[in-house]
Structure 1
């Protein structure tokens, strides 16, 4: 069984509790090291890493816009916008038909 323990954050020096539940979660995930940062410093570090690498909501960051191509959906006949140049070797689906196709394929 796990019991809560007090740890010291290596960034801010404040004490924080590593609860029994958190220890159990770490063990289930196979983590062998205890956390070295308090929850607030972990969140601040995670947030700053995302900004440094240009990641924001959805992980798109500063990625340039993709070139999109228009094609006719092979299922419903509507216009489909796809991120590749269709060459006729594979079917092309609009977003809704692709979503439906994926749902049944799984």
Structure 2
């Protein structure tokens, strides 16, 4: 496909920016079908903004209380147990992985 430079308008600042041939080729190679919505300075600002980084930060991950199926010890895991598979504490899990 023959690409041509395109002029797009940034959704944040409203200024026009160029979507170059090489950028279009990169997008196509990565399987990206949508055009960029922000100019490069606005993309960088968004990436560095507190709101964007907080949204992608797992520091406040919800933890679930569990009881080890082998030793009965209490612990926490970062996922909601389904009840189908037994949950093991770290030491019991490591013991179960050692070759016999």
Report the TM-score range of the alignment, normalised by the length of the smaller protein: 0.5 to 0.7
Distance, in Å, in 2 between the alignment partners of 1:33 and 1:21 is 15
Q: How does 1:1-106 map to 2 (within 5 A)?
A: 1-48=2-49, 49-50=52-53, 52-53=54-55, 55=57, 61=59, 84-86=90-92, 88-91=95-98
Distance 2:39 2:56 in 1: 24
How many residue pairs get matched?
69
In structure 2, list runs of 5 or more residues that go unmatched.
62-88
TM-score, structure 2 length as denominator? 0.54
Give the CA deviation at 1:62.
Answer: 5.0
- CA gap of 1:62–1:9, structure 2 versus 1, over 3 A, is same
Q: What RMSD in Å do the two structures reach over aligned CA positions?
A: 2.7
TM-score (norm 1): 0.52
